[in-house]
Amino acid sequence: MDNNIAERLNSAYRQIAEIKQKNQAVRVDAQLIAVSKTKPVPLIKEVYLAGQRLFGENYVQELVEKSAELANLVDLEWHFIGPIQSNKTRDIARIAAVVHSVDRLKIAERLSAQRPVDLPSLKILIQVNISHEASKAGVLPEDVPALAAQIAVLPNLQLAGLMAIPAPAVDQDNSQAFAQMQSLSMKLQQQFPQATALSMGMSDDWQQALTFGATMIRLGTAIFGARDTQPHE
């Protein structure tokens, strides 16, 4: 048992509440996604028992195995946050409630076609390459409106918002990227009022992300501790 896990989780929720209190821009509906990639099922169970319900995974194989082992925890919600290969969409469509990492129409079309019709619409976030990094996942900011319009008309999906992983800033300051995402998100909502989600902020920068209107922060290390094993795919 790792008693620190519940401690770290509670501390993160306390800090979120404090930041909310101090800062008008922080959205009252800000959610914490516990990123459990490479972490074993017993640890995930511990975090669940400490009250956490939203979990993020990067690798389809881990998502499939862990969701099967934890199937009895019916209110546990899986968020898929990793790169998506088109031959892996079926499992994501079956298991996830939210997909944070959609950056092309073909993936969205497959998720739409493969989403079981007895499940609620799969929530889709468009991943934005906000730092214009070569060979990084995500669409460029200027391409968001076109992809959003294409996704919005697909059945079994709900266009829910945007996600970004800013390039590591030399001075640990991601405020520029976060501000750009906040403005992109507001523009998107003019066209699609229901697309309010803004997924940004990880263990090193989540406090700052919240002050720029993040509605979902994705915390791995800050909750589970350092990752020592290599993920498998």
Q: Which residues make up the interface to ligand PLP (CB under 6 A)?
A: 35, 37, 58, 81, 165, 202-204, 218-222
Alpha-carbon separation of residue 220 from 8, 182, 191, 227 (angstroms) = 11, 23, 32, 8
Considering the complex, state which of residue 188 and residue 200 has its C-beta at the smaller distance from ligand PLP: 200
Rounded-to-integer distance, Cα 24 and Cα 212, Å: 10
Considering the complex, state which of residue 111 and residue 214 has its C-beta at the smaller distance from ligand PLP: 214
Considering the complex, state which of residue 81 and residue 154 has its C-beta at the smaller distance from ligand PLP: 81
Considering the complex, state which of residue 108 and residue 209 has its C-beta at the smaller distance from ligand PLP: 209
Considering the complex, state which of residue 141 and residue 166 has its C-beta at the smaller distance from ligand PLP: 166
| Closest distance of CB 199 from ligand PLP, Å | 8
Q: Give all strands (DSSP E) within 19-112, no chain letters.
A: 31-35, 54-57, 77-80, 98-102
Rounded-to-integer distance, Cα 105 and Cα 151, Å: 7
| Closest distance of CB 153 from ligand PLP, Å | 27
Q: Is 34 helix (H, G, I), strand (E, B) or coil?
A: strand
CA 11, 14, 20, 21 torsion-angle sign: negative
| Closest distance of CB 193 from ligand PLP, Å | 26
Residue keyed to tokens 């993920």: 231
| Closest distance of CB 57 from ligand PLP, Å | 9
| CA torsion, ordered 50, 120, 99, 102, to nearest 10 deg | -170
Residue keyed to tokens 């906000």: 130
| Closest distance of CB 117 from ligand PLP, Å | 28
| Closest residue by beta carbon to ligand PLP | 220
